[in-house]
Amino acid sequence: MKPIQIKVKHVVRLVIILFIAVIIWFAGVPSFRHQKFVPMPQNEIQKIYKKIKDGNGKLYQSEGSLRFKNRQFYLDGKPFRIFSGAFHYFRVLPQYWNETFLKMKASGLNTVETYVAWNFHEEIKGSFNFVGNKGLLNVREFIETAKSHGLFVILRPGPYICAEWEFGGLPSWLLRDTEMKVRSNYEGYLSGVDTYFAHLIPHIQHLQMMKKHGVVEMFFTSDPQIKSWKNGLYPIAYEALPTVNFKHLDEGGQELVDFIEGLELKEILTKLLDSGASINFYMFRGGTNFGFMNGAKIYHKHGYKPVVTSYDYMAPLSEAGDTTEKYQVIRELLMKYQENVRHFHGATLKEIPENKEKAAYGTFPINTYLSFEDLLSESEKIESKMILTMEHLTLYHGSGQNYGYILYRKILPKTKTINIKGIMQDRMQVFWNGKEIAAFDWTENLYQIHLDLMTDINIDEKENKLDLLVENLGRVNVRPLNEQFKGIMGEVFTDGSKEELKDWVIYPLDFRSQFLNSVWIHSHYKQLPNFDPSPALYSAEFDIEGTPKDTYLSMEGWTKGIVFINSFNLGRYWKHGPQQRLYVPGSILQNKKANTIRIFEQKKAGKEVVFYNSPTPY
């Protein structure tokens, strides 16, 4: 039986699990989530079936531990049904993996499915990390932990993953190549992918259930337009399990379709289970887009939209891992089919682990702040003839700047008008002698400022400081991908001159660990003045008693920025919402010494922060 994936948010989607071949089934499905899917013509369907037939006219049949025959999976020669749920290791801290696996097993699942985010592991070109960031990068430990709970793993390493994740999982340094065409046969792209797989595979190769030929001979990608690979990787038609997306359970449908939750979820799931289908729920456990990894989407009618920090996804297990009503509905149905569900060891748990208690730690005042100029003093300082995008800065051995903010500074004489021609991505604040005089975002295409019409700014005859602060709100995770440059792509002109301004000083404010550590212990933190000094880095400390618990940080009263607690980047906030409270895992808090919070506020700061025991009320 071809496995059908059910996506759970406001909707449930039927999607076939792609490329299953080992305990780790390498897969990657093209994302059609945000675009209308056109049904495939019947003649194209026949071509696909022809390609996956052998010389005797028989459909391809895998020869590994996992096989399929007559619409049925077999594992080690025995009938096997996949009851799987998506749970991304890079969105949930390791301290919560065990609890989540227990709840997944208690629901009746026997498999966990996860992507691998290439850009999370190779942020700097050629520098790989599979253990850091408080354990969020340890994909091998994630797989081994799942195995210890008797769960199989479907691993989807991309290289492109979509997943409402920054740049669809691709590293932004790919864009330094001016000819780059990601998700294609372009040599520069394939070379990067080869290197990525060459480092990833040794970490997970020994975890395969079957190693008849070795993982090197497997082909895995979410991009069907890629025709070939180096290093002896075989074409997909010969080494992977061919799959098709279905609108209905009847043979031959290809259209993806949305289904709502509630009673309809129960009805559809019942029908699927009765049919003998294998299933994957996307997502089964929500999570968090910590740091700058939220990414963005392109909508047909509304264009660019950055994704929020929360990845709760209205999943059966919430952002904090709590069971929901949806979880109970799914568990009730899956429990009826446990006779033919296999695990590595043991059976489905009879008891559901309890949800963890959340804490409302209360209100804490902001005590001190670090000025924007002091913040800049700890940043790299790049002198450039021309304006450059983040990706083209000479940083990190040729990798450029991936995330955060970028400041363009120019000293000017007395000026009347400023014109920025080109494209600004994604949000820009304009400062004149330290005072904000304008703000633009991606919804606008005319960036013109008339200084001579402003009566409340200081204009010196000889020397004025123009600052253009641009925030990278997230690269899109679907098309168009090759144009995802961040910063200013264009030129700046003054007073009607046809000559663009040159000789800029550029500050990359990426809040990477080295920069963050230096501003964390900076000696110039001051008491709050009687005016709002934003943009600035604000600071507060708070103590907690007993074992730290999960909590939710309210940013009501603040405008826009990012939050760090004990040097851990929780993510973004914005008064426009919809998210007003950030999930704070108890595992990043400490009870034996003070906890420190730092908030980079871009416009107008609040006077305090408040911790609640529940997420944003919608």
Ordered DSSP codes for 487-500: EEEEEEEETT-SSP
- Predicted confidence at residue 278, as pLDDT, reads 85
Q: Assign 3-class secondary structure to 51-88.
A: HCECCCCCECCCCCCEEEECCEEEECCEEECCEEEECC
- pLDDT band at residue 57 under the 50/70/90 scheme: low
Distance, CA of 380 to chain centre: 26
Peptide linkage before 159 cis (omega within 30 of 0): yes
CA atoms of 380 and 136, how far apart (whole Å): 27
Say which residue the tokens 């799987």 belong to. 84
User: Which pLDDT score is estimated for 217?
Assistant: 26
Return the half-sphere exposure (C-beta side, CA atoms, 13 A cut-off) of residue 476. 19
Checking if the pLDDT of 378 tops 70, the result is yes
Report the C-alpha gap between 285 and 412 in whole angstroms. 53
- Does 449 or 262 have the greater pLDDT score? 449
Least confident of 65-79, 133-147, 317-331: 65-79
Name the more confident of 265 and 404: 404
Q: Which of 146-160, 227-241, 261-275 has the lowest mean pLDDT?
A: 227-241
Residue 342 vs residue 382, higher pLDDT = 382
pLDDT per residue over 217-262, tens digit each?
A: 233 444 544 444 333 333 333 445 555 444 455 543 222 233 345 6
Does residue 477 have a pLDDT over 70? yes
Phi, psi for 365 (deg, rounded to 5): -80, 150
**52-61, 148-157, 352-361: lowest mean pLDDT where?**
52-61
SS3 588: helix
End-to-end CA distance of the chain: 40
Indicate the residue type of 32: F
> CA-to-CA distance for 493 and 501, rounded, in angstroms?
6
Q: Are the C-beta atoms of residues 162 and 477 closer than 8 Å to each other?
A: yes
Assigned CATH topology for domain 362-370+522-612 = Jelly Rolls (2.60.120)
Mean pLDDT within 273-279: 86
Per-residue pLDDT, 247: 47
Percent of the chain with pLDDT over 90: 61
- C-alpha closest to that of 404 among 471, 467, 469: 471
For the chain, helix (H) and strand (E) counts, in that order, are 10, 33
Which residue type sits at 87? F
pLDDT score recorded for residue 43 = 61
| Length reported for the chain | 618
* pLDDT of res. 17: 33
User: What single-letter amino acid sits at 230?
Assistant: K
Concatenate the DSSP letters of all residues of 391-427 into one string. Answer: GGSS-GGGT---SSEEEEEEEESS-SEEEEEEEEESE
**Pairwise CA distance, residues 556 & 552, whole Å:** 12
pLDDT in tens, 548-574: 999 999 999 999 999 999 999 999 999
H helices within 353-416, ranges in order? 372-376
**Structural class in CATH, domain 379-509:** mainly beta
CA 35, 172, 89, 311 dihedral sign is negative
Poorest-pLDDT segment among 29-38, 484-493, 509-518: 29-38
pLDDT band at 28 (very low <50, low <70, confident <90, very high): very low
Q: Which of 595, 585, 570, 589 is nearest to 94 (CA)?
A: 585
Domain ranges of the chain: 4-284+330-340, 362-370+522-612, 379-509
Per cent of the chain over pLDDT 70 is 79
3-state secondary structure of 328: helix
Paired sense of beta strands 152-156 and 111-115, if any:
parallel
pLDDT of residue 434 exceeding 80, the answer is yes
For 73-99, what is the mean pLDDT? 91
**DSSP string of 294-313, one letter each residue:** T-EEEETTTEEEEPPSEE-T
State pLDDT tens for residues 283-329. Answer: 999 999 999 999 999 887 778 999 999 999 999 999 999 999 999 99
Higher pLDDT, 204 or 61: 204
- Residue 241 tokens read as 């399990």
Stretch among 27-31, 73-77, 104-108 having the lowest mean pLDDT: 27-31
Same fold, 362-370+522-612 and 379-509: yes
Q: Residue 233 has what pLDDT?
A: 33
Distance of CA 360 to the CA centre of its chain: 28
Rg (Cα) of the chain, in Å, rounded? 26
What would the two tokens of residue 69 be? 């025959």
pLDDT value of position 244: 47
Q: Which pLDDT belongs to residue 349?
A: 76
> What pLDDT was estimated at residue 211?
47
323: left (phi over 0), alpha (psi -120 to 50) or beta: beta
The phi, psi pair for 545, rounded to 5°, reads -110, 145
Question: Can you read off the two tokens belonging to residue 616?
Answer: 């944003």
Taking the C-alpha atoms of residue 321 and residue 287, their distance in angstroms, rounded to an integer, is: 8
pLDDT tier at 527, thresholds 50, 70, 90: very high
3-class secondary-structure state, position 48: helix
Average pLDDT of 410-438? 93
pLDDT of 476 above 90: yes
User: For residue 286, what are its two tokens?
Assistant: 């929500």
Alpha carbon 486 to chain centroid, angstroms: 17
pLDDT score of 64 more than 70: no
CATH 3.20.20.80 for domain 4-284+330-340:
yes
Q: Is the pLDDT of residue 412 over 90?
A: yes
Tokens of 236: 């997909």
Integer Cα distance of 423 and 442 in angstroms: 9
Contact 215, 21 (CB under 8 A): no
- What is the per-residue pLDDT for 40? 46
Mean pLDDT of the chain: 83
What mean pLDDT do residues 366-371 have? 97
Residue 100 has pLDDT above 70, yes or no: yes
pTM value is 0.85
